[in-house]
């Protein structure tokens, strides 16, 4: 296994990218959204940002000024709240289109597309009937209604045998796998030309918790390719009956996509042909705490992801990342990061890699041309607590904005990159 820097030197030889001015990093503000962040994105060629929050609202604002441009919310659909744990919410996903003119929001079984100029709904992608509760599900309130038991009810309950806790948990998990009958959008991605959307869905218990989604496989959790012009499904596939496709990333050339298959406490990265949905290769399942990041490098010939396929409970390799060949899935080289990586993003020109170390105590910026880490920093004024560490990072497609933050507390540190000098904190 040779050095990752030898590989990067092949793509970024000496003198390459000399026309690219290097940025200076300026912290603009810390944006306090006051709710847990479920999803976040930045529009191309703009300072427009959007976040989906745990109260099922979507907020759109200017990174430069903090001014809110638009805000809307979804009503929580009725369900059996006993299927959820405390702090779990309906999942919401969102992405701007490649041209920055459309905001796509996935909620319940639908992907809604909004025009960012006037916020009219341009399109809705969904299958009729997939938002209905299955027979036998009784919708309950998030806040239980309390009433005093009668003497007869108390006597009858005291005479019932105490249930085995293991059997009770097995029954509860089985109900989670069955879900409430609704199909929910798990993740989606635009193709580069903006003409297609690739989307994954879950039909079991599928809830967001502090920016992560816990999904219980139903055995019939589909992945679909949508044609936006025709508003119809090009193909639909069911992959692992024991897993849910939790993350999808489309290659720049539109020839294939990389997906993360998530089973309970285990994940695997795989690649598929975009035109047909047929599998090309798959890594083996390995233990994971959350679905690993997948970051394609420019051109789509290689990608960076966590080394889940090498992991076990002892070595915890899922904390560390490596570079892989997209065509085969073969590992090219390990990323030399002793602190591990919990989240990452790559600039659209392939010059910069921004990552958050596994413990969430700081972020770092790699110069892939200079082949070194040039910044290790913590946002100024950051209030680090036990339950809120850095765990979200996003670079704008035009490489002008960097946002790092904490999903639980809903705090985002906003940075602007100016042309001219080497990055400085």
Q: Does residue 227 lie within any of the structural domains?
A: no
Taking the C-alpha atoms of residue 345 and residue 107, their distance in angstroms, rounded to an integer, is 24
Distances (CA, A) of 307 to 81, 213, 322, 331: 36, 20, 6, 9
As a whole number, the mean pLDDT across the chain is 88
- For 139-193, what is each residue's pLDDT tens digit? 888 776 677 778 887 788 787 887 777 888 888 888 889 999 999 999 999 999 9
Q: Which of 381, 387, 421, 417 is nearest to 402 (CA)?
A: 417
Q: Does residue 103 lie within any of the structural domains?
A: no
Q: Does residue 360 lie within any of the structural domains?
A: yes
pLDDT of residue 17: 45
Q: Does residue 369 lie within any of the structural domains?
A: yes
Q: Does residue 138 lie within any of the structural domains?
A: no
pLDDT of residue 175: 87
Is 75 a residue whose pLDDT tops 90? yes
Length of the chain, in residues = 425
> Which segment of 10-14, 26-30, 80-84 scores lowest on mean pLDDT?
10-14
350 pLDDT band (50/70/90 cuts)? confident
CA dihedral (415, 41, 366, 265) positive or negative: positive
Distances (CA, A) of 392 to 36, 183, 397, 410: 12, 27, 16, 10
**190 near 197, Cβ under 8 Å?**
yes
Q: Does residue 11 lie within any of the structural domains?
A: yes
Beta strands 294-296 and 302-306 are antiparallel
Residue 313, token pair as written in the block: 């409970």
**352 near 8, Cβ under 8 Å?**
no
Q: Which domain holds residue 373?
A: 1-32+341-425
Distances (CA, A) of 370 to 14, 79, 384, 400: 9, 53, 31, 20
Residue 376, token pair as written in the block: 């290790």
Domains identified in the chain, total number: 1
**51 near 58, Cβ under 8 Å?**
yes
Q: Does residue 164 lie within any of the structural domains?
A: no
Q: Does residue 384 lie within any of the structural domains?
A: yes
pLDDT of residue 144: 66
Q: Give kind and range of the element (H or E) at residue 168.
A: helix 165-178
Is 8 a residue whose pLDDT tops 90? no
**Virtual torsion, Cα 306, 308, 309, 310, nearest 10 deg:** 90
- In terms of Cβ atoms closer than 10 Å to its own Cβ (0-12, 13-18, 19+), residue 307 is buried
């Amino acid at each position: 296994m040779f050095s990752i820097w030898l590989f990067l030197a092949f793509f970024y030889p000496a003198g390459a990218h000399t026309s690219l001015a290097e940025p200076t990093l300026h912290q603009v503000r810390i944006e306090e959204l006051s709710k847990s962040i479920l999803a976040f994105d930045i529009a191309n060629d703009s300072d427009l940002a959007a976040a989906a929050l745990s109260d099922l609202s979507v907020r759109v604002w200017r990174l430069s000024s903090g001014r809110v441009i638009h805000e809307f919310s979804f009503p929580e659909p009725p369900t059996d709240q006993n299927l959820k744990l405390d702090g779990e919410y309906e999942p919401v996903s969102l992405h701007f289109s490649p041209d920055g003119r459309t905001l796509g929001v996935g909620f319940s079984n639908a992907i809604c597309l909004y025009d960012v100029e006037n916020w009219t709904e341009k399109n809705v992608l969904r299958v009729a009937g997939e938002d209905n509760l299955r027979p036998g599900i009784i919708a309950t309130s998030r806040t239980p209604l309390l009433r005093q038991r009668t003497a007869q009810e108390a006597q009858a309950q005291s005479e019932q045998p105490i249930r085995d806790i293991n059997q009770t948990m097995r029954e509860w998990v089985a109900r989670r796998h069955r879900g409430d009958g609704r199909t929910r959008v798990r993740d989606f991605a635009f193709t580069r030309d903006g003409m297609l959307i690739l989307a994954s869905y879950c039909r079991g218990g599928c809830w967001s918790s502090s920016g992560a989604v816990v999904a219980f496989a139903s055995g019939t959790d589909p992945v679909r390719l949508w044609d936006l012009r025709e508003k119809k499904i090009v193909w639909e596939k069911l992959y692992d009956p024991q897993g849910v496709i939790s993350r999808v990333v489309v290659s720049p050339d539109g020839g294939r996509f990389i997906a993360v298959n998530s089973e309970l406490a285990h994940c695997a990265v795989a690649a598929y042909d975009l035109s047909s949905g047929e599998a090309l290769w798959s890594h083996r399942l390995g233990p994971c705490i959350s679905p690993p990041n997948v970051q394609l490098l420019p051109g789509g010939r290689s990608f960076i992801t966590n080394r889940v396929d090498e992991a076990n409970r002892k070595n915890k390799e899922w904390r560390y990342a490596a570079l892989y060949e997209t065509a085969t899935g073969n590992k090219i080289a390990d990323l030399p990061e002793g602190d591990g990586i919990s989240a990452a993003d790559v600039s659209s020109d392939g010059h910069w890699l921004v990552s958050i170390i596994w413990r969430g105590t700081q972020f770092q910026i790699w110069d892939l041309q200079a082949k070194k880490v040039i910044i290790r920093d913590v946002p100024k004024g950051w209030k680090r607590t036990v339950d809120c560490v850095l765990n979200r990072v996003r670079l704008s497609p035009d490489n002008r904005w960097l946002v790092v933050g904490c999903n639980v507390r809903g705090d985002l540190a906003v940075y602007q990159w100016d042309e001219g000098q080497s990055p400085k904190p």
